[in-house]
Structure 1
């Protein structure tokens, strides 16, 4: 049975326990033949990023993890000229520190960013091992998972019914890739468009305005309503361009856009509405 890791962004609170636990387990500790010691600086085999999104005042933070995906069809394995990288029976991908010669081809081959690091002192490539040395010693999960206080990180066998149910709700980090990763994500951040609407004549916030975003290419629509402050958030958008439509009884329907969220989330600011 292969091991998988599921990270639930919906309940991650950005405490950094996972990152600290990884450092505590691997810095200064030689777990050969699984891994040589991780440097105390420069490497993060489990890295937490604070991704600040949007523009003031419509801002939100997503806590995102950078970790080896332990791909079933791992490009790093194919790229290694020394056969130093292998996949265990449980699916965990390991760089054998005794065989690695530091050619760094695996770093170039990995389709994910900042996953495999080069140790200048030891002249070897290093990365997350899912704490395979602990699993072999009887542990049921890696240190990062054990340290998570909210249960946002779940580790287990892919054939476990509970794990299968979670995988069904999750998705891979880069679904366009065909490398078959063993790390899944619940609540991966999608794009958002936010803003505020107000009655120009009355000079007050416009509540309960229907806001519809239509994807210019696909025609797919997402709808919400403004709150008592006139604010709206259109969440869960695929990247692309959207036109916005504002509608409320007694007011002129108003179009806005297109708004492009291909590369970033957008706050359109304050938009005035006019009575009909």
Structure 2
């Protein structure tokens, strides 16, 4: 059976917030019986864009990651709900019943991704419902993806086997897979948000002329093992990405024709932009 999945490309998200606004426009002050009660105008972020800044000047990048209910196949909230207040549809969408869930504030803490919000006025837990009410009317996409100008968010209704192959082919990841919740929200280029880089610029001072060194060989090592090798670009820049946060000791070796080898030791906690690196004869 085909089921709904969401694919989010972190590299393409520009923080325009159209998905956030579309969710609010659809749900604030609007009630959809058997799907969701009205979303509060303030305080609830059923779709939220997280921001991650990496590096230091002058080499910095910023990633934006939309997050929402993951519609997990092994959802802890379903197990914690009383009286069948949370159910999973055959098409993969998780729904919190706006009537049966009344008073069950404990469900807010049941979500390991912090994606369930408490509606204080109505005394019910709420989350993003994948716009199931619209999909049931024939919509091909939830509003969040239909308004995404960069195509960063795309919904796909396909079989689990097809989704598994797509995830492998496009190197898609889910958030915190070790939790074992089996989310149906997948991310592309997630490294932009959850990994680190080591970068820098290489230059030389020759006859009082400071110039970038292009095509210098830069090697990243860890415990003498070569992790990666790259060349500096026309600006003398290099960047090793997709490194684990807090992964410890690394060594950078820089070799360029006519210059002495330069070695730099680094303890990686979060992304590092090295000071300009000068090579000498």
- Distance in structure 1 (CA, Å) of the matches to 2:13 and 2:162: 19
Deviation at 1:45, TM superposition (A): 1.0
**Greater mean alpha carbon deviation, residues 95-104 or residues 139-148:** 95-104
SS of 1:272's equivalent in the other structure is: strand
Residue 180 (structure 2) aligns with: 178
Residue 91 (structure 2) aligns with: 90
- Distance in structure 2 (CA, Å) of the matches to 1:162 and 1:83: 30
- Provide closer, same or farther for how the CA distance between residues 15 and 52 of structure 1 changes in structure 2, counting only shifts above 3 A: same
- Provide closer, same or farther for how the CA distance between residues 10 and 161 of structure 1 changes in structure 2, counting only shifts above 3 A: farther
- Distance in structure 2 (CA, Å) of the matches to 1:72 and 1:163: 13
Cα-to-partner distance string for 1:222-264 (whole Å, 9 max, x where unaligned): 2222222222221222331222111222222222122314xx2
Contact 1:82 1:101 in 2 (8 A): no
Residue 248 of structure 2 corresponds to residue 243 of structure 1: no
Deviation at 1:50, TM superposition (A): 3.1
Deviation at 1:220, TM superposition (A): 5.8
SS of 1:269's equivalent in the other structure is: coil
Residue 21 (structure 1) aligns with: 22
- Provide closer, same or farther for how the CA distance between residues 215 and 109 of structure 1 changes in structure 2, counting only shifts above 3 A: farther
Residue 10 of structure 2 corresponds to residue 5 of structure 1: no
Q: TM-score, normalised by structure 2?
A: 0.89
Cα-to-partner distance string for 1:157-213 (whole Å, 9 max, x where unaligned): 232897565422111122222111101111112321111122255543222222222
Deviation at 1:118, TM superposition (A): 0.6
- Distance in structure 1 (CA, Å) of the matches to 2:225 and 2:80: 42
- Distance in structure 1 (CA, Å) of the matches to 2:112 and 2:225: 31
Q: Which runs of 5+ in 1 are unaligned?
A: none
**Greater mean alpha carbon deviation, residues 48-57 or residues 85-94:** 48-57
- Distance in structure 2 (CA, Å) of the matches to 1:32 and 1:227: 58
Residue 224 of structure 2 corresponds to residue 223 of structure 1: no
- Distance in structure 2 (CA, Å) of the matches to 1:268 and 1:259: 12
- Distance in structure 2 (CA, Å) of the matches to 1:223 and 1:172: 28
Aligned residues: 271
- Distance in structure 2 (CA, Å) of the matches to 1:208 and 1:273: 13
Partner residue of 1:197 out of 202, 214, 218: 202
SS of 1:34's equivalent in the other structure is: coil
- Provide closer, same or farther for how the CA distance between residues 119 and 82 of structure 1 changes in structure 2, counting only shifts above 3 A: same
Deviation at 1:268, TM superposition (A): 1.6
Partner residue of 2:264 out of 225, 241, 256: 256
Deviation at 1:86, TM superposition (A): 1.0
Partner residue of 2:274 out of 268, 271, 275: 268
Q: Which runs of 5+ in 2 are unaligned?
A: none
Cα-to-partner distance string for 1:58-93 (whole Å, 9 max, x where unaligned): 111111111111100001111123431111111111
